[in-house]
Every structure is written in C-alpha cells, then in structure tokens.
Amino acid sequence: MQKSHTNCFDYDIIKHDLCVRTRRPGDYIVIDREGRKQKLKSYLINEKIPASERGEILLIADGSHILWVVGHRLSLCGRPDEHTKRILQIQIDGGESHGRDN
C-alpha cells in the first residue's frame, strides 16, 4: 500500500542542507531528549528491518544526523517544541507503508 508521509521539523536547528537519500556509513539518529545517539545501522537491526530493505529506506538527513527514517521514526532532535519559531514541513508521497505513521 502506498502512502503519503508528512512530518514537521524545527527549521532553526538544521545545520546543513537537508537531503533525501539512503543510508551512509556514520549516519546516526538521536533517540532521546538527552541527546543520546544511536548508529542508524544499529537502529535498523534493532527494529528487525530486513537487510535487503535497509539500503532502500528513504532518509531525511542533515549531514550524518538522520532527522527522519521515512516510514519508521523521527529523531528526537529537531522536533518542534514550545521554543520553535520556524517550522519546516516535509511530505514524501509514495513508497511503502510499514504500518507506521512516520
């Protein structure tokens, strides 16, 4: 089933040009409010995403920081909060739905 995925980010925390891409060595995602990071590779393994699919998952990346594993998870760094002044909304149409809203 194809799906449209939409999420919002705090525009002012973005440090580099955002890009839509697949995974690269050194990619990481912030997993908690304290800023702890997890290697993207470890996250994909822990989520039991088949190895054959890992290289095809779309990512919204700010350098090596993965803001959004499309269809799976958002980084906890970059989500809008009460201090956010500008919001960036990104919508990705198509692709597979993995039973999640992210």
**According to the model, what pLDDT value does residue 40 have?**
98
Backbone angles phi, psi at 51, to 5 degrees: -55, -35
Strand, coil or helix: 73: strand
Strand, coil or helix: 12: helix
Asked if 79 and 12 touch (Cβ cutoff 8 Å), the reply is no
- Write out pLDDT tens, residues 10-49: 999 999 899 999 999 999 999 988 889 999 999 999 999 9
**According to the model, what pLDDT value does residue 84 have?**
94
Cα–Cα separations (whole angstroms), residue 62 to 48, 59, 97, 100: 24, 10, 23, 22
| pTM of structure | 0.85
Cα–Cα separations (whole angstroms), residue 25 to 11, 55, 99: 25, 11, 27
- pLDDT above 60 for 102: no
Domain boundaries, the chain: 2-96
Q: Which fold has domain 2-96?
A: Phenylalanyl-tRNA Synthetase; Chain B, domain 3 (3.50.40)
